[in-house]
Amino acid sequence: MQSDPKPVLHATGISKFFPGVIALDDVELQLYPGEVHALLGENGAGKSTLIKCLTGAYPRDAGVIMLDGAEINPKDPLSSQAAGIGTVYQEVNLLSNLSVAENLFLGRQPRRFGMIDQRRMLRDSKDILAQYGLSIDPAQLLSSYSIAIQQIVAIARAVELSGKVLILDEPTASLDREEVELMFSVIRRLTARGLAVVFITHFLDQVLAICDRATILRNGCVVGTRKLAEVTQTEIVTLMLGRQLEAATHHHERRETGDVLLSLRGFGKRGAIEPFDLDIHTGEVVGMAGLLGSGRTETCNAIFGAQPADQGEARLRGSPLRISTPREAIRNRIALCPEDRKTEGIVGDLSVRENIILSLQARQGWYRPLPRAKIEEIAQSYVKALDIRLANLDTPIRLLSGGNQQKALLARWLATEPQLLILDEPTRGIDVGAHAEIIALIERLRTQGMALLVASSEMEELVAYSTKIVVLRDRRQVGALTGDDISPNAIIRAIAAEEEPRA
Amino acid sequence: MKLMKTLLVSAAIAMPAAAFAENETVGFSQIGSESGWRAAETSVTKADAKERGITLKFADAQQKQENQIKALRGFIAQGVDAILLAPVVATGWDEVLGEAKDADIPVVLLDRKVDASDDLYLTAVTSDTVHEGTVAGDWLKDAVGDAQCNVVELQGTTGASVTIDRKKGFADAIASADNITIVRSQTGDFTRAQGKIVMESFIKAEGGGSDICALYAHNDDMALGAIQAIKEAGLKPGEDIKIVSIDSVPDMHLAISKGEANATVELTPDMAGPAFDALEAYWADGTQPEKWIQTDSTLFTQDDDNEAAYENKKALGY
Amino acid sequence: MIRSTLRRVTPQLIILALILALNMVMFPGFFHVEVHNGRLFGNLIDVLNRGAPVALLSVGMTLVIATRGIDLSVGAVMAISGAVAASVITGGASWIVAVLAALGAGALCGLWNGVLVAVLRIQPIVATLVLMVAGRGIAQLLTEGAILTFNDPGLVRLGGGTILSLPTPIWIWIGVAALVGLVVRRSALGLLIEATGINERSARLAGINARVLLIAVYLVAGLCAALAGVVVAADIRGADANNAGLWMELDAILAVVIGGTSLLGGRFSITASLLGALIIQSVNSAILMSGMAVEFNLVIKAVIIITILVIQSPRVRHWIYLLRASSGPGPMPRQPASRTPKIEEGRP
């Protein structure tokens, strides 16, 4: 497709530093007219930083941006838009209380005798929308249409204003299948007109369906640019995750597990996770693998009652279990250490001591306060056992490092003596030392007979501690690995498999 | 219970007027029923109309000028013989008063004036709030004679025109008496609670109350609060500290009858009486009344029959 | 525990002392207390006595604000409870029944607010605005627009009476504050409230029943307001639906803010809020004792309050700290170091 040798946009040497972090390191991106170019990478790989540098939302620290052969230097998103680069984000950033036509023409309404020419604005809006295959009434409020339509209106506005490069940042994240198709047809119309489209998404199948090429980022560096027709899905996933497939293998002997603790049948929540079956035994670590947005967190939340399941059944040690709130889960000695430590885990202004005993106290009820001495004993013992480093127990937990916060949260849940401990991304954003300690802790808890369900995007980690791994893709369980089958390679194959074995 | 009574009264009024009457119809646009005095004004007006054989059409505006304007337009459309208006605000009346004038319907303003040309209404019946203060001041002058007297003053809401007027009237009256001085003056917001609190501080600030000879309160409610403060300080209200205030609400008469207060100046709820007098003269032979009819500011002291006054006022719906 | 509370309320104590000193400068007899007919009598007693309504309100308000909420309706609830107490007592019931009925009305109002906030998830400021506006109307309906007076000695004693020479309202607010403070701090309620206020999502996921907790704090606020309403009505021996508790919710919020509890929720101190209430009352008292023209009342109050809040602002506190640190060898440097502890990254 890119037989045209001249790229419409060519960014070279783009670098961006944040205090202590290299967010982008000498990144190169070439866009050709008429192509859809995917920007891939796990969270934190630098995708959004790159977009922000290209649109001028962030000042870049190094690098040159050439648009149509001329250097541009966007100071802010408005100037990049004027130069020809339009951006549409996942959250529609239009004014939902204005009409579709007003949104399309906001700031540049056609005027007649000094007044806004409503009739012309509506007529022009109809013409523009027709180019996108939409025949809607532009006089209606934007909010009266679906998110998909609003997205397309946003795209139309961006294209009208800029017209050379269109950046779509996760435009399909909240759309259903048919709406995604509609979006794709719009994108195809645009590329047919010679626009270059940058497409950012976590959905690999969508990348394969619509994109021509992909640039893959990892840790702020470009690890490759590929024509999608020439690579396998496995190769892309490998590039994204950066795993040496041969290196790590499942080198543990087969582990003995105990009785079935939690048994799920047809368990699921509409719009979050499709029904699945799962058995978790005592003394077992069930790993959950999958790309971002594959449904790992949703599965954890459904079991814990944070987003209660609406179908299927659960049995705890054989007896039926109905969990609709975290309190019920906790009462049944199920614990969840959530993925987003800051907003769902820690209570920042409370002391480490209070954070550690919070769940235990909540389960006991407000009228049965833990004795001061008991609190001290619990907090001290976990600080020691988990090697939480702090000045003293009165320190507000928000002042601790990520790793120590995570350990304190683990202490909170261990203090409730759970029989099932669910860990959602337990090692994200923590330092190497704490990382190793948490993995060792998982192993230790397993040997003590606890059942654990661990969701992680760190494949080697999963391989290291899991006795069983379920693989999720597109909010569906697509595979299960046990015993000697467990290896990073097998995980990646399962994630990437087109329509492979269902669990 | 009181509600029941009001309902009965209004039912009586709604009945066809008695045979001996001229059977004129008058529309009355009342502000609302925000205070006991306002309720009394309404019931006095209704009773007075009934006695005179006038059919009264009553409209409660619930504190909104737009409701009053609507009511006035309704009265005009019904072709009433006159309109009584107790205006909720002073401005914005020109248009609707003009419409009444065009329809030859005389309008009488009750208890407040408006900012409009005076040929738009027949007359205004109001109390003279400066004069009320003067009556109170004159009473105090008589009561203390030549003795030295330190007065504390409980003002109404800061900046309200009633506050300014009642303060001025009292000050004017005692200006000639060198032996009477206002030593402390604070706002009590026209409320009982605040009247009590401020009086407490007056007592503390003036030698435990022994330096205070008299209290002048801009309304009875504040005076009633102050009486409690004086009692709690171990002093005898009405004796150790003379008390004069304005409004003549029932509870004040009770206090005077018990000797706990000395005098109150009546703000009469009977604004309608003079208004009907003026209207009847106008209907009879087109007599143009004065543009301002001032109601009497009657002084009640311990010499009057305050128990009767109490019963009387209670019956009016205070 | 007592020592940590003392450290927490030091700024409020200093401010209160300064304002009382100011009172004394203006009016030398300010601290004079004597016994009059078996009743302690003096300006200081007045501050404690007159501070009762706002102090009572601030107890409930502190808990509500700690959950990141606000209760604008407490002033109106005061009017309602006063009206209920007055109607019940004039209906011939005993004063105990009247007080219980008033408390019941307050509890009902609190429950209403709590359900709007916790169950229907309406923003607290909007949810309680409803009752703030409607509540006074309800009270006016109960009293039919007039001041409903009563003379029942039992009820009157709650406002104007004394126990052991001290005015009853002082006993009431100290008693309620002690009771609530004790329950909140001796049980785990305080911790759970603070956790909910700081991060409701984390708190729910940690198993805290945030919904019940939220309803409970609004209930307590309603009860405190009801008691304040009874005290105010008993004080003037009448329920004044138009004026009872008017704008008092703002004084209560101010008391909590002066007490240093953040409107963003979290850490709270009932003691500090009570000191805030006393500070406000001392300012009011200073204004009354000053004998200045009434036109200056609000301006003086505003200036004093603004000064207090500015001095308490983090930025100014920081400046003061810098000033003291640079102006010689004060015994200061250790304290701030311990206040913002440096956490060493554990990196083996």
Q: What is the mean pLDDT of residues B175-183?
A: 95
Which residues are CB-contacts of C321 (< 8 A; sequence separation ≥ 6)? C332, C336
| Cβ contact B–C (≥3 pairs, < 8 Å) | yes
| Residues A254 and A391 placed together within one structural domain of the fold | no
The count of C-alpha atoms lying within 13 angstroms of the C-alpha of B173, restricted to the half-sphere facing its C-beta, is 20
- Does C37 touch chain A if contact means CB atoms closer than 8 Å? no
The domain boundary residue, chosen from A415, A449, A466: A415
Domain assignment present for residue A383? The answer is yes
Q: What is the pLDDT of residue C313?
A: 81
Residue labelled with tokens 């309320």: C9
Whether the per-residue pLDDT at A70 is higher than 80: the answer is yes
Q: What is the pLDDT of residues A240-286, one digit of tens each?
A: 877 544 444 444 545 567 889 999 999 999 888 999 999 999 999 99
Is residue A442 classed as helix, strand or coil in its secondary structure? Answer: helix
Give the mean pLDDT of B273-277.
94
Touching subunits of C (3+ CB pairs, under 8 Å) are A, B
Which residues in chain B are classed under CATH 3.40.50.2300? 2-126+269-287, 129-266
Local confidence band at C334 (pLDDT 50, 70, 90 cut-offs): very low
pLDDT the model gives residue A89? 80
Q: Measure B291 CA to nearest chain C CA, in Å.
A: 33
Q: Among C39, C237, C291, whose Cβ lies nearest the Cβ of B228?
A: C237
Average pLDDT over residues A80-91: 84
User: The domain containing residue A502 runs over which residues?
Assistant: 246-333+418-503
pLDDT at A43: 66
Q: Does C322 score more than 80 pLDDT?
A: no
How much is the average pLDDT of B244-249? 95
Contact C207 A330 (CB under 8 A): yes
Q: How many domains does chain A have?
A: 3
Q: Confidence band (pLDDT; 50, 70, 90) for A381?
A: very high
| Substitution target from C186, C191, C334, C339 for chain A, most A beta carbons within 10 A | C191
Tell me whether residues B204 and C43 touch, CB distance under 8 A.
yes
Nearest partner of A397 among A355, A429, A339, A337, judged by Cα:
A355
- How far are the Cα atoms of B62, B147, C40 from residue C166, in angstroms, in the given order? 44, 37, 6
Give the integer Cα–Cα distance in Å for A244 and A221: 17
Structure tokens at A173: 């994240």
The minimal CB distance from B232 to the residues C39, C243, C291 is found for C39
Identify the closest residue of chain B to C38 by CA–CA distance. B234
The chains in contact with chain A, meaning 3 or more Cβ pairs closer than 8 Å, are C
- Token pair of C207 as six digits: 């198993």
Report percent pLDDT > 90 for chain C. Answer: 70
Q: What is the dihedral of CA A466, A472, A478, A479, to 10 degrees?
A: -10
- A-C C-beta contacts closer than 8 Å: 103
Indicate whether A46 and A174 sit together in one domain: yes
Q: Using a CB-CB distance cutoff of 8 angstroms, which residues of chain C are in contact with residue B33?
A: 145
pLDDT (0 to 100) of residue A285: 94
CATH number at residue A19: 3.40.50.300
- pLDDT score for A397: 92
Q: Cα C212 to the chain's mean position, in Å? A: 22
CB within 8 Å: C291 and B35: no
Considering the domain architecture, whether residues A160 and A214 belong to the same structural domain is answered as yes
Tens of pLDDT, residues C62-73: 999 999 999 999
- Residues A225 and A263 grouped into a single domain: no
Please answer yes or no on whether C345 and A359 come within 8 Å at the CB atom. no
Subunit contact C192:A361, Cβ cutoff 8 A: yes
Contact B234 C36 (CB under 8 A): yes
Q: Which two tokens stand for residue B199?
A: 């009086």
One domain for residues A162 and A301: no
**Is the pLDDT confidence value at B251 over 80?**
yes
Domain end among A194, A212, A241: A241
Residue A226 CA neighbour count, 13 Å, CB half: 20
- Same domain, yes or no, for A409 and A426? no
Contact A367 C187 (CB under 8 A): yes
pLDDT of residue C1: 67
pLDDT at A356: 97
From the number of C-beta atoms within 10 Å of its C-beta (0-12, 13-18, 19+), residue A385 rates as middle
- Residue C187 contacts A where some CB pair is shorter than 8 Å: yes
- C207-257 residue pLDDT tens: 999 999 999 999 999 999 999 999 999 999 999 998 999 999 999 999 999
* Amino acid A252: pLDDT: 53
By CA distance, what is C202's nearest residue in A? A344
Amino acid, single-letter form, for residue C333: P
Do chain A and chain B touch with ≥3 beta carbon pairs under 8 Å? Answer: no
Is the pLDDT at A65 greater than 90? The verdict is yes
CB contact under 8 A, C289 and B35: no
Residue B22 has a pLDDT of: 60
Please count the other Cβ atoms lying within 10 Å of the Cβ belonging to residue A177. Answer: 8
- Determine the residue type at C130: V
Other Cβ atoms less than 10 A from the Cβ of A246: the count is 9
**Tens digit of pLDDT for each residue in C149-185?**
999 999 999 998 999 999 999 999 999 999 999 999 9
Label residue A445 by pLDDT band (50, 70, 90): very high
Q: Indicate whether A445 belongs to any domain.
A: yes
**Least CB-CB distance to B36: which of C41, C146, C289?**
C146
Residue A259 in domain = yes
Quick check: A10 pLDDT over 50?
yes
Q: Does some domain include residue A341?
A: no
Distances in whole angstroms, Cα of residue A89 to Cα of each of A51, A73, A201? 11, 22, 11
Residue with the bigger pLDDT between C174 and A476: it is C174
| Chain A contact set for C183 (CB, 8 A) | none
**E strands present in A347-405:** none
Cβ neighbour number for residue A494 with a 10 Å cutoff = 24
Confidence of residue C327 (pLDDT cuts 50, 70, 90): low
> Average pLDDT, stretch B224-246?
95
Nearest chain B CA: its distance from C130 CA (Å):
19
Report the 3 state secondary structure along B160-185.
CHHHHHHHHHHHHHHCCCCCEEEEEE
Find the closest chain C residue to A399 by CA distance: C343
CA distance C164 to chain A (A): 34
Residue from the list A326, A364, A400 with its beta carbon closest to the beta carbon of C205: A326
Residues in C touching A343 (Cβ below 8 Å) = 199, 201-202
Q: Which two tokens stand for residue B115?
A: 């900012």
Q: Which residues of C sit within 8 Å Cβ distance of B?
A: 27, 29, 36-37, 39, 41-43, 46, 50, 144-147, 149, 160, 232, 235-238, 240, 242-244, 285, 288-289, 291, 293-295, 297
Give the gap in angstroms from C-alpha C335 to the nearest C-alpha of chain A: 14
Tell if the CB–CB gap between A369 and C201 is shorter than 8 Å: no
pLDDT over 80 at B124, yes or no: yes
Name the domain boundary from A211, A241, A271.
Answer: A241
Q: Are residues A66 and A145 in the same domain?
A: yes
Contact residues, chain A, for C203 at CB < 8 Å: 347, 358, 362
Model pLDDT, residue C278: 96
pLDDT of residue C4: 84
Instruction: State the pLDDT at residue A59.
Output: 87
Coil, strand or helix: which one is A400?
A: coil
Q: Are residues A186 and A133 in contact, defined by beta-carbon separation less than 8 angstroms?
A: yes
Among the partner residues C202, C340, C341, nearest to A347 by beta-carbon distance? C202
Query: What pTM value is reported for the model?
Result: 0.76
Question: What confidence score (pLDDT) does residue A387 get?
Answer: 87
Q: Which residue has the higher pLDDT, A256 or A42?
A: A42
At the topology level of CATH, where does B129-266 sit?
Rossmann fold (3.40.50)
User: Which of B191, B201, B247 is best to mutate for the C interface (most C CBs within 10 A)?
Assistant: B201
CB contact residues (below 8 A), chain C span 188-207, against chain A? 188-189, 191-192, 194-195, 198-199, 201-207
Q: Which residues of B237-267 are buried (b: 16+ CB within 10 A; e: fewer)?
A: bbeebbbbbbbbbbbbbbbbbeebbbbbbbb
The answer to whether A369 contacts C208, with C-beta atoms less than 8 Å apart, is: no
Inter-chain contacts counted by CB atoms under 8 A, chains B and C:
84
In percent, the amount of chain A with pLDDT more than 90 equals: 42
Coil vs helix vs strand at B115? coil
CATH homologous superfamily of B2-126+269-287 equals Response regulator (3.40.50.2300)
* Average of per-residue pLDDT across B87-92: 90
- Sequence-ordered list of residues with C-beta below 8 angstroms from that of A329, at least 6 positions apart, any chain: A303, A304, A305, A323, A335, A336
